[in-house]
Amino acid sequence: MSAFQQQTPEWLEMRKNYIGASDAPVILGVSPWSTPYKLWCEKLSLLPPKEKTSAMQRGLDLEDEARKEFEKQSGLIVFPEVVFSDKYEFMMASLDGIDIEHKYIVEIKVPGKEDHEKALDGVIPEKYVPQLYHQMIVTGLDSAFYFSYNEKNSKIILLEKDKTYESSLIKKEQEFWDCVQNLEAPSLIDKDYTNRDDDLWVHAATKWKETKTRMEALKDEEEHLRQTLICLSGKSNAKGAGIKLSKVIRKGSINYQEIPELSGMNLEKYRKQPIETWRIGEC
């Protein structure tokens, strides 16, 4: 049994060092609440911790009640537990329920009306499917229960392992974890941007595009005149009309990948802290 108790500060901090089950839908791009880039920022503590929404708090408040109802309907006795993968060192899962013999797991949801109605029809909402697959990968089990609960009715759905889906999820999670380890942000998607159409933004954006166009034209003109002066100088040092043209010889850069002595060495520990910069481009 893990020493970590769910919803504690220690548990929240530990989760930054792993990919958890709730991260899986985000990484696959099916989460309505987050994006791979935002999750990457959270893992690196570049964003403040998420605040609990009323829906999240309702789920936590009713989880014990829902677990008892699942036990009543399934005949299983399950306990919440934090587990870690033996095969993939970056994977963990905070299970809502696992039996004492570690043969059965359940993901409990106290969802909104639309998602609950889907479950009553026997369909697991798409945004929760990766979560169950991640739990199966971590525990090594071939199936998982999804339990949709509210105070009036509930539904148990069994999800069986699909090797193709599982392989795809493992690949995507490994790629994301490489981004975390290498401090390389995942690609931004539309949900990572805030749409702005207010007057101040529109004015500034329009002026920026106009200025950028003028600067590019001036840059082209400057380069043309630069090459003209070099040609007129006969490629020798020259001065006149208030300018000096000087030849400068710089050392070439070192290709560290070609140095045999550095082969296999991890140079990341010598990298300086990340620097925040902003890139502006037209869309």
Q: Which domains does the chain have, with CATH numbers?
A: 9-191 (3.90.320.10), 194-263 (no CATH)
Instruction: Give the model confidence (pLDDT) of 162-179 as tens digits.
Output: 999 999 999 999 999 999
Which SS3 state, helix, strand or coil, does residue 108 take? strand
82 DSSP β-pair partners: 94
Q: What is the pLDDT of residue 244?
A: 95
109 DSSP β-pair partners: 148
Q: What is the pLDDT of residue 223?
A: 96
User: Phi and psi for 222 in degrees, rounded to 5?
Assistant: -60, -40
* Token duo for residue 222: 């400057």
Helices (H) and strands (E) in the chain, counts: 8, 7
User: Using an 8 Å Cβ cutoff, are 207 and 175 in contact?
Assistant: no
Residue with tokens 């909402």: 125
CA gap 84, 1 in Å, rounded? 10
Instruction: Give the model confidence (pLDDT) of 205-238 as tens digits.
Output: 999 999 999 999 999 999 999 999 999 999 899 9
Q: State the greatest distance between any 2 C-alpha atoms of the chain, in Å, as a whole number.
A: 94
Tell me the pLDDT of the chain (283 aa) as tens digits.
566 677 777 887 888 899 999 999 999 999 999 999 999 999 998 887 777 777 778 777 788 899 999 999 999 999 999 999 999 999 999 999 999 999 999 999 999 999 999 999 999 999 999 999 999 999 999 999 999 999 899 999 999 999 999 999 999 999 999 999 999 999 999 999 999 999 999 999 999 999 999 999 999 999 999 999 999 999 899 999 999 999 999 888 888 888 888 887 877 777 777 777 777 878 7
Q: What is the pLDDT of residue 3?
A: 62
* Token duo for residue 31: 């989460």
Sequence-separated (6 or more) residues with CB below 8 Å from residue 263: none
Task: Give the global pTM.
Answer: 0.78
Residue 211 to residues 196, 206, 208, Cα–Cα distance (Å): 20, 9, 5
CA gap 276, 47 in Å, rounded? 13
